[in-house]
């Protein structure tokens, strides 16, 4: 027996166990990995491939050249990101206080509030979008009511523009922010706040220095889900935007119709994917999720 | 238990086998046709598709589709979903240019009574519709709204919000007509990027007044019904249906741009010969007259008027009635097959400015 063996008597055995465990876990994740490969890696690869196929079926950059030539494409991408960022910010501004409020309620009341959040979540997206159209249009419920009550004399333009699109999208996206955030806030130990108070922190200070940082992982997860889902939105901006808010998904669909080829549409998808990847990469560099979790 | 499962499994298999053999023998006298749904296809179904199928003793299954791009994608991927589709002449021409359509056999399909230009090698004209400028009669009063495209673009004489189509089709023409280009010169002027730009510049002058860029016929009808906009471009039949539903909407034929819809056959359709015969049947005037009872889209077959298959009152509501047609520009499918893609990109650029 060497001295090393004396210090760590079972090292070899432990290594063996650890290796076996890794293999078991790998085996367990294998079905998922296969699924990801079949459902994500292969189709995305196919998308990349198709985007380099021109109208005559040969390899070409024409689908990308077109995007540089026409200013419409850059504007459409800017709109897509602008709308997605605005929706995310508004969702956070509305969703955070609500999730905080719910996390402070007793379980029973919190559950009742949760139903309020979930019922719209379970209603068809199309139905909700058209409902907003009925509410917001020129002679819609809101404008008519406001005029009758004498608040305004002329109808306000609430729909067929960015405003209407944002209202509709925030309404649809809000649960995606609240759900992870609420789960996170519920898990925060309330004693930490009491400890802060006992050390002399005002409620405001206790909130900002203790509660808020602890809620960040949930908030970031929510923001990420909302932002990414917004990028691919089609129905809501198409109906509530009135043709004034053209997002990438809408252009993808119109390109299929216009060029009769998958390539013209896939190139847009590729650009959207790459730009989103870059943005998320930069974001993850600025705020490291792990770091937040370990705080 | 196990035996039961086995039995039902065998039962299912036999049933499937039976169904498969049944469809195989069915296919000989079954056709699948696709169209646009809504009030339009309802008229087609009741007036044309089903009566014509009955007369021939065949089964015709109907469905809706998303336009010529569906035909293209279907043919390119080797799928087999339908034998005949109903399509605008321009879309049909672009499909033909892409080589995804069967050439129609006019020795089978009789178009000798068709109005001039209302059929092409790949599309047998079935009805004529118009893009018109519709206005809200509450805002301007019946008969006092914009009558011509010049009126539509005149925001001082006719203040109010407008809607135009979110796609280029039949929109550039309105701009040039408003700009004073004579009807027979419109497509000559549009035959260059400068000409297209001229039309777009005219649209730019009223862009602040365009409240909505519409994307479907149902939408522009609803916009007028709800009073969301004061005037819009759109299809005459949709406005007539909306009017019957109580919408305050009117239009004048002076603003009409005539276009036609017809039937085409996707390349490689399994039942091509039967499809050809069926299209021939659908070209008969009595079906077209019946269809026009449901929606105000006029017949392409001149015999309908000659034989007096339509009441005079109804005939006067059709875009193709001589009194209405004489004011109108006829949409050039040739121009669309040459310029549509370029014009569409330029149009989107204008919209997103």
Nearest CA in chain A to B230: A138
* Residue ranges making up the domain that contains B73: 2-127+262-320
| B225 and B117 both lie in a single domain | no
| B163 and B15 both lie in a single domain | no
By the 10 Å C-beta count (0-12 exposed, 13-18 middle, 19+ buried), A110 is classed as middle
- In this prediction the pTM is 0.85
HSE, CB side, 13 Å, CA atoms: give it for residue B77.
12
B317 to chain A, minimum CA–CA distance in Å?
Answer: 30
| B348 and B206 both lie in a single domain | yes
**Cross-chain residue pair B344–A243, CB shorter than 8 Å:** no
| B154 and B84 both lie in a single domain | no
| Nearest Cβ partner for B352 among A138, A246, A259 | A246
pLDDT computed for residue B15 by the predictor: 45
| B95 and B143 both lie in a single domain | no
Domains belonging to chain A, first-starting first, are 65-294 (1.10.3720.10)
Cα–Cα dist B289/B287, whole Å: 5
Whole-number mean pLDDT of chain A?
90
Q: What is the CA radius of gyration of chain A?
A: 25
The mean pLDDT value for A189-204 works out to: 92
| B134 and B253 both lie in a single domain | yes
Residue in B162, B208, B348 to test binding to A, most A beta-carbons within 10 Å: B348
Q: Tell the residue number behind the tokens 């459902």, with chain if given.
A: A39
pLDDT exceeds 50 at position A295: no
B228 to chain A, minimum CA–CA distance in Å?
Answer: 6
pLDDT computed for residue A257 by the predictor: 82
A139: Cβ contacts below 8 Å, ≥ 6 apart: A155, B226, B227, B228
pLDDT computed for residue B24 by the predictor: 43
In this predicted structure, which of A3-17, A217-231, A270-284 has the lowest mean pLDDT? A3-17
Listed as ranges, residues in chain B with pLDDT below 70 are 1-27
Query: B30 - beta bridge partners?
Result: B59
CATH number reported for the structural domain that contains residue B164 in this entry: 3.40.190.10
Sequential DSSP letters for chain A: --HHHHHSTTHHHHHHHHHHHHHHHHHHHHHHHHHHIIIIIHHHHHHHHHHTB-TTSSB-SHHHHHHHH-HHHHHHHHHHHHHHHHHHHHHHHHHHHHHHHHHHS-HHHHHHHHHHHHHHHHS-HHHHHHHHHHHHSTTSHHHHHHHHTTS-SS----SSSHHHHHHHHHHHHHHHHHHHHHHHHHHS-THHHHHHHHTT--HHHHIIIIIHHHHHHHHHHHHHHHHHHHHT--HHHHHHSTTSS--HHHHHHHHHHHH-SHHHHHHHHHHHHHHHHHHHHHHHHHS-HHHHHH-
End-to-end, the C-alpha distance of chain B in Å comes to: 69
| B23 and B112 both lie in a single domain | yes
Higher pLDDT: B38 or A210? It is: A210
pLDDT, one tens digit per residue, over A123-172 is 999 999 999 999 999 999 999 999 999 999 989 999 999 999 999 999 99
Residues of A in contact with B215 (CB under 8 A): 238, 243
| B96 and B139 both lie in a single domain | no
| B90 and B228 both lie in a single domain | no
Phi, psi of B159, deg, nearest 5: -65, 150
Per-residue tokens: B258: 């005539």
Residue in A69, A72, A73, A268 to test binding to B, most B beta-carbons within 10 Å: A72
pLDDT, one tens digit per residue, over B11-58 is 444 444 444 444 444 457 899 999 998 888 999 999 999 999 999 999
**In B, what residues contact A, Cβ < 8 A?**
66-69, 72-73, 94, 98, 166-167, 211-215, 226-228, 340-341, 344-346, 348-349, 351-353
| B251 and B178 both lie in a single domain | yes
Where does the pLDDT of residue A57 fall: very low under 50, low under 70, confident under 90, or very high at 90 and above? confident
Cα–Cα dist A252/A230, whole Å: 15
Cα–Cα dist B229/A102, whole Å: 42
| B213 and B290 both lie in a single domain | no
Per-residue tokens: B26: 């069915």
**Cross-chain residue pair B228–A256, CB shorter than 8 Å:** no
What is the interface pTM, i.e. ipTM, of the complex? 0.85
Split into its structural domains, chain B has a count of 2
By the 10 Å C-beta count (0-12 exposed, 13-18 middle, 19+ buried), A198 is classed as exposed
Q: Is A163 on the interface with B (CB under 8 A)?
A: no
Phi, psi of B107, deg, nearest 5: -85, -20
Interface list for A 12-51 with B (CB within 8 A): none
Closest CA to A239 of A75, A127, A157, A144: A127
B212 to chain A, minimum CA–CA distance in Å?
Answer: 5
Residue count (chain A): 295
pLDDT computed for residue A261 by the predictor: 78
**Cross-chain residue pair A260–B98, CB shorter than 8 Å:** yes
A94 to chain B, minimum CA–CA distance in Å?
Answer: 29
pLDDT computed for residue A289 by the predictor: 55
| B193 and B333 both lie in a single domain | yes
């Amino acid at each position: 027996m060497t001295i090393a063996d004396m210090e760590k008597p079972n090292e070899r055995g432990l290594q063996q166990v650890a290796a076996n465990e890794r293999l078991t876990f790998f085996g367990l994740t294998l079905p998922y990995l296969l699924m990801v490969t079949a459902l994500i890696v292969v189709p995305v690869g196919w998308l990349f491939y198709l985007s380099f196929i021109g109208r005559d079926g040969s390899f070409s950059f024409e689908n990308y050249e077109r995007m540089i030539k026409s200013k419409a494409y850059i504007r459409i991408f800017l709109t897509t990101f602008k709308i997605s960022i605005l929706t995310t910010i508004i969702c956070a501004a509305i969703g955070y206080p609500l999730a905080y409020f719910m996390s402070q309620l007793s379980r029973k009341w919190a559950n009742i509030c949760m139903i309020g959040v979930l019922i719209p979540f379970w209603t068809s997206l199309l139905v909700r979008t058209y409902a907003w159209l009925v509410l917001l249009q020129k002679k819609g419920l809101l404008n008519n009511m406001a005029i009758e009550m004498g608040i305004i004399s002329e109808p306000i333009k609430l729909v067929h523009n960015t405003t209407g699109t944002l209202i509709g999208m925030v309404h649809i996206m809000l649960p995606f922010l609240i759900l992870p955030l609420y789960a996170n806030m519920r898990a925060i130990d309330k004693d930490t706040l009491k400890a802060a108070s006992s050390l002399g922190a005002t409620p405001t200070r206790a909130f900002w220095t203790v509660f808020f940082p602890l809620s960040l992982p949930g908030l970031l997860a929510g923001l990420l889900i909302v932002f990414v889902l917004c990028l691919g939105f089609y129905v809501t901006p198409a109906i509530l935007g009135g043709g004034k808010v053209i997002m990438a998904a809408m252009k993808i669909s119109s390109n299929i119709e216009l060029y009769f080829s998958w390539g013209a549409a896939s190139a847009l998808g590729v650009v959207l994917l790459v730009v989103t990847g870059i943005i998320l990469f930069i974001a993850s560099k600025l705020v490291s999720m792990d770091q937040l979790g370990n705080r | 238990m196990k035996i039961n499962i086995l039995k039902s499994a065998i039962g299912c298999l036999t049933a499937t086998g039976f169904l498969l053999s049944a469809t195989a023998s069915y296919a000989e006298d079954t056709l699948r046709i696709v169209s646009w749904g809504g009030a339009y296809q309802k008229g087609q179904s009741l007036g044309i598709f089903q009566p014509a199928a009955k007369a021939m003793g065949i089964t015709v299954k109907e469905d809706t589709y998303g336009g010529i791009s569906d035909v293209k994608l279907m043919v390119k991927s080797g799928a087999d979903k339908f034998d005949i589709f109903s399509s605008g002449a321009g879309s049909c021409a672009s499909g033909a240019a892409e080589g995804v359509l069967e050439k129609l056999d006019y020795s089978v399909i009789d178009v000798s009574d068709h109005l001039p230009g209302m059929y092409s090698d790949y599309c047998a004209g079935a009805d004529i519709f118009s893009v018109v400028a519709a206005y809200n009669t509450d805002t301007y009063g019946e008969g006092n709204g914009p009558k011509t495209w010049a009126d539509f673009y005149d925001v001082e004489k006719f203040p109010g919000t407008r809607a135009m189509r979110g796609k280029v089709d039949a929109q550039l023409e309105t701009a040039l007509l408003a700009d004073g280009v004579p009807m027979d010169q419109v497509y000559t002027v549009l035959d260059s990027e400068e000409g297209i730009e001229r039309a777009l510049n005219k649209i730019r002058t009223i862009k602040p007044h365009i409240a909505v860029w519409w994307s479907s016929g149902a939408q522009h009808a609803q916009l007028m019904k709800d009073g969301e906009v004061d005037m819009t471009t759109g299809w005459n039949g949709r406005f007539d249906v909306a009017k019957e539903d109580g919408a305050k909407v009117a239009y004048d034929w002076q603003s009409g741009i005539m276009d036609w819809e017809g039937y085409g056959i996707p390349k490689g359709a399994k039942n091509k010969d039967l499809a050809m015969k069926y299209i021939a049947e659908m070209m008969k005037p009595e079906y077209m007259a019946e269809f026009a009872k449901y929606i105000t889209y006029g017949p392409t077959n001149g015999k309908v008027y000659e034989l007096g298959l339509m009441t005079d009152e109804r005939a006067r509501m059709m875009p193709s009635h001589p009194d209405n047609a004489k004011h109108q520009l006829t949409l050039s499918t040739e121009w669309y097959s040459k310029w549509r893609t370029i014009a569409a990109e330029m149009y989107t650029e204008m919209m997103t400015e």
